[in-house]
């Protein structure tokens, strides 16, 4: 299964996928890694592994017309690598309906909360602010909403009384990596079907 991975940050989930694929523990080929953030850690990890990379930056405060053009540019960059699946993990941008229809393959996303609770860019912070005793992570199929697509897998993570956002997020990331690898393995084996 050929995948394109989209990242905005350090690429810790990407590294887990690279390692599992290199160890023949995951039947995927990472065709390329793309980002909206030039110089991010995820691009460096991909480059170190010899994986092609591309960047389609989007300036802060972009107009709706610029955002639409960016989605088209990103879709064209992804499509050049002929993926069977797109994985967004730590990719901090909302993909438009036009992007999703243009790439023409399913897109899955990891999210650091138990959706439908705490969608959006601050799932860990929002869970702490709400005072929940259990949070977690979700792998879901991406639609044009904000973390609203069909849920594929979830894992719970207890919240400790002394947790801050950073400590809780680190524990969530451990489960997020495991869940992403399990989901990709099921997709590659045909045990899980996407719309």
Per-residue pLDDT tens for 122-165?
Answer: 999 999 999 999 999 999 999 989 999 999 999 999 999 999 99
- When pLDDT is cut at 50, 70 and 90, the band that residue 7 belongs to is very high
Q: Among all residues, which ones are annotated catalytic? A: 111
- If one compares 61 and 155, the residue with the highest pLDDT of the two is 155
Question: Do 137 and 110 meet the contact criterion of CB atoms below 8 Å apart?
Answer: yes
Q: Taking 90 as the threshold, does the pLDDT of residue 60 lie above it?
A: no
pLDDT class for 115, splitting at 50, 70, 90?
A: very high
Tell me the pLDDT tens digit for each residue of 16-28. Answer: 999 999 999 999 9
- Token reading at 37: 């953030």
Mean pLDDT value across the chain: 96
Residue 137, judged by CB atoms within 10 A of its CB (0-12, 13-18, 19+), counts as buried
């Amino acid at each position: 299964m050929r995948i394109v991975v989209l990242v905005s940050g350090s690429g810790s989930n990407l590294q887990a996928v690279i390692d599992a694929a290199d160890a023949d523990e995951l039947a995927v080929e990472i065709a390329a890694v793309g980002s909206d953030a030039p110089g991010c850690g995820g691009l460096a990890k991909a480059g170190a592994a010899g994986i092609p990379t591309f960047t389609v930056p989007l300036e802060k405060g972009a107009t709706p017309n610029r955002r639409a053009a960016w989605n088209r540019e990103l879709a064209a960059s992804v499509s050049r690598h002929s993926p069977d699946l797109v994985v967004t993990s730590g990719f901090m941008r909302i993909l438009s309906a036009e992007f999703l229809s243009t790439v023409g393959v399913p897109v899955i996303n990891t999210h650091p909360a138990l959706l439908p609770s705490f969608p959006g860019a601050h799932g860990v912070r929002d869970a702490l602010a709400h005072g929940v005793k259990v949070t977690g992570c979700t792998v879901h199929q991406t639609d044009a909403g904000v973390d609203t697509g069909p849920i594929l897998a979830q894992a719970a993570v207890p919240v400790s009384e002394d947790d801050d956002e950073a400590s809780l997020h680190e524990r969530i990331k451990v489960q997020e990596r495991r869940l992403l690898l399990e989901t990709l393995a099921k997709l590659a084996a045909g045990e899980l079907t996407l719309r």
